[in-house]
Structure formats: C-alpha cells, structure tokens
Amino acid sequence: MKTFLPQPDDKARQWFLVDAADKPLGKLAVRLANLLRGRGKVTFAPQVDLGDFVVVINAAKVHLAGRKEQKKLYEKYSGFRGGQTFTTAEQLRAKHPDMIVFNAVKGMLPRNGMSRTLITRLKVCPGAEHPHAAQNPKLLEAI
C-alpha cells in the first residue's frame, strides 16, 4: 500500500469569519492556528500547506482573563543596545487592538518557514467591518 501525500490545491482553500467578541484569547488563538494550518481536514499533513483563510472581526473586544490586561507584556527589540521595549496588553489594546490576536495566533504556529506563509492568511479587524465580503466567508460560531 502506498503512502498518501496530499498536494496543495488552491481551489480547496475556504474563507472563514470569526467573531472574537468576549472570546478567551488562548482558546481563540488555538482554533485560529488550527484553521490556518488545515488541521481539521482529512488530508492534513504537517509538511503540506492546506490551510484556509481566516477573517477575525471585533478583535478589540477579545477577553483576557484575570489581570493579564495589566500584567501581560509584549517585547520588542530593535537589535541595538538599549533597544528593548516592553508594552502591556492594555497599552497595545489602546494603540493596535488587532495585534493582540495576531501575536497570539503567531505564537501558536510552529516555528518554521511555512508559518510565515500561514500567518499572511490571517486577516484581523478591530471592529465589526471587514473588507473581505467579496470572498463570502463562512461564519464559525463555536469557538
């Protein structure tokens, strides 16, 4: 019996719409990372890119448990001496509310070259409006 190796097929990619309002950030990020990788498909293989497009709306209303709003830190380093800066989740939500969901999903993806391609299929919008209505994304309820 031969081993089945799936081939990436552009026609098989779907668009999903996820409402992040009042959803826990960690559970949402795991579900989105699995959609981007194609883990729910029968033909899933970790070395083949079979993932779908995901549009996240209401990212500014995502729920952080406990005191993570004040305690969670995001690190940025410029590469120069003294160029390390820290930002709390509260400050990041005020400036770039979509980056909270983006960073969480990026952290859930594997650290390889394919993850750079996968993260480009994640479209995060801070409000309820999104510019991807022409693709007819399918609404995902249970997350």
| pTM score | 0.92
Single-letter amino acid code for the residue at 18: V
- 15-19 β-sheet, strand order: 122-124, 53-57, 15-19, 138-140
Per the listing, tokens 């997350």 go with: 143
Domain layout of the chain by residue ranges: 13-140
97 alpha carbon, distance to own chain's centre = 13
Q: What is the CATH number of domain 13-140?
A: 3.90.1180.10
DSSP codes, 64-105: --TTHHHH-EEEEE-SSTT-EEEEEHHHHHHH-THHHHHHHH
Cα–Cα dist 59/21, whole Å: 7
Buried b (16+ CB within 10 A) or exposed e, 43-78: eeeeebbbbbbbbbbbbbbbebeeeebeebeeeeee
The yes-or-no verdict on residue 78 having pLDDT over 90 is yes
What are 35-48's pLDDT values in tens digits?
A: 999 998 888 889 99
Mean pLDDT of the chain: 94
Give me the pLDDT at residue 6, please: 86
Cα–Cα dist 97/125, whole Å: 9
